[in-house]
Amino acid sequence: MNPWMHYLVWPLVKFLVAFIIVQGIVAAMNWVERRLLGFVQARLGPNRVGPKGLLQIIADPVKFLLKEDIVPANAETIAYFLGPILPLIPTFLVYCLIPFGPPPTFVAARVNVAVLLVLALTSTGVYGIILGGWASNNKYSLMGGLRSAAQMVSYEVPFGLSIVGVLMLSGSLDLVKIVNYQADHIWNLFPQLIAAFIFFVAMTAETNRTPFDLPEADSELVGGYHTEYSAMKFAFFMLAEYSAMLVNCCLMTLLFLGGWTLAIGGYGLTTQTLQHMGIPGGMLGVLIFIVKVMTFMLVYIWFRATFPRFRFDQLMDLGWKWMIPLALANIVVTGVVVLLGQSLNFQGEVVLSIAGAAIVGYTLYNLRPRAKVVHASRVSEV
């Protein structure tokens, strides 16, 4: 094949297709989120524009485009413009690296250090928020930006550490190989249960979503880092946030839920099976992938409807005193079990899965509904 076609044109076409689909999903997610929040909170949500309010997906961008673009008087002009645009670039670049279906058709760029590159790119998303918050020349915005910087640097650590266990099991940094490994053995969710939990919490914190939305806490900081932003610039912030959510859900699916495969121990829809089925197989793989990703997006929204916001010191305590030690313990345990499994010839995944199940069982047992105990000194108050 012509190298230009192979290295430039095809990846670009793939990236553009993925980009357009992702943007469609992001626009639709806004509507889904509002309807779902309405459902949870026993109200209707947007239902006026079009059937079931579906045309809201188009109405919102039109409104963003037509609104007046206000720049505060003493803003740092260049930084103010760069703020909303900068976080978009790394988030969109990540879509080149994510395999949406069985290779080679559905991967724009297959890199052998893909996990590291994705981590690197997502870790730079914080600059836009810091910059936007600082350039607005507003105390609340600055507070939002500072909080965001501290929060994202803190949660970067458990975010990265929780992946290490997965890398040890699958022995590769290539996302495609990690997915194939899971299809041949078992979804990493089971042996790496604690890591999956940490990863999900850390990724919620990384994207500034409730219950970790302190950078934009409306009750304390008006709107946080985007207080002074209006019209299209505000829309860019939202776009970056939702794109980052989608990227994180894709990563979660690839690392812990077997990506586009639906197989266990090599039986079922593995990558080879899908590749043998040709184009329909590829489409099926993408469909499976999208269903898994969407499940996590809905969990995100469910989180938002359920949990109240953390206080900032609670957030830091959770990150540094719980998440990081837990992630480190997980690495040690996984490493020991994998090594023992190699030398004593047993499946490390099975042992880790049983241990994970035991932990979940114990936690659920401790959280079971119990009769309320009233302390003797407070009986008179009741």
Partner 1 sequence: MIEYAVFFFFAAVAVIFALMVVLHRNPVVGALALVASFFALAVMYVLLEAPFLAALQVIVYAGAIMVLFLFVIMLLNLQKQSEEPTRPLQQFLGYAGSAAFGIGLVYYLSKYAVMELPAGPFIADARTVGIRLFEAYIFPFEMVSILLLAAIVGALLLSGVRMEERT
At residue 268, φ and ψ (nearest 5 deg) are 115, -155
Nearest to 134 by CA among 224, 238, 235: 224
210/192 Cα distance (integer angstroms)? 24
CB of 76 to partner 1, least distance (A): 8
- Residue whose CB is less far from partner 1, 116 or 264: 116
Q: Which of 5, 41, 104, 112 binds partner 1 (CB under 8 A)?
A: 112
The gap between the terminal CA atoms of the chain, to the nearest Å, is 80
Give the binding-site size for partner 1 (rule: CB under 8 A).
27
169/326 Cα distance (integer angstroms)? 18
CB of 143 to partner 1, least distance (A): 10
Q: Which of 28, 40, 88, 146 binds partner 1 (CB under 8 A)?
A: 146
CB of 182 to partner 1, least distance (A): 20
Nearest to 226 by CA among 167, 143, 298: 143
300 exposure class (CB count in 10 Å sphere: 0-12, 13-18, 19+) = buried
Q: Which of 173, 290, 328, 351 binds partner 1 (CB under 8 A)?
A: 173
Contact 154, 202 (CB under 8 A): no
Q: Is 117 in the site for partner 1 (CB under 8 A)?
A: yes
Q: Is 123 in the site for partner 1 (CB under 8 A)?
A: yes
Tokens of 242: 């939702």
Helix or strand or coil: residue 347?
Answer: coil
Q: Which of 31, 100, 127, 237 binds partner 1 (CB under 8 A)?
A: 127
Q: Is 120 in the site for partner 1 (CB under 8 A)?
A: yes
Q: Is 89 in the site for partner 1 (CB under 8 A)?
A: no
Q: Is 203 in the site for partner 1 (CB under 8 A)?
A: no
CB of 101 to partner 1, least distance (A): 24
Helix H or strand E encompassing 83: helix 77-85
Stretch that binds partner 1, among 129-137, 179-187, 279-287, 333-341 (CB under 8 A): 129-137
The DSSP code sequence of 273-325 is HHHHT-HHHHHHHHHHHHHHHHHHHHHHHHHHHHPPPPPHHHHHHIIIIIIHH
Q: Is 216 in the site for partner 1 (CB under 8 A)?
A: no
Q: Which of 32, 149, 232, 299 binds partner 1 (CB under 8 A)?
A: 149
Q: Is 152 in the site for partner 1 (CB under 8 A)?
A: yes
Q: Is 121 in the site for partner 1 (CB under 8 A)?
A: yes
The residues binding partner 1 (CB under 8 A) are 76, 79, 111-113, 116-117, 119-121, 123-124, 126-127, 130-131, 134, 142, 145-146, 149-150, 152-153, 156, 160, 173
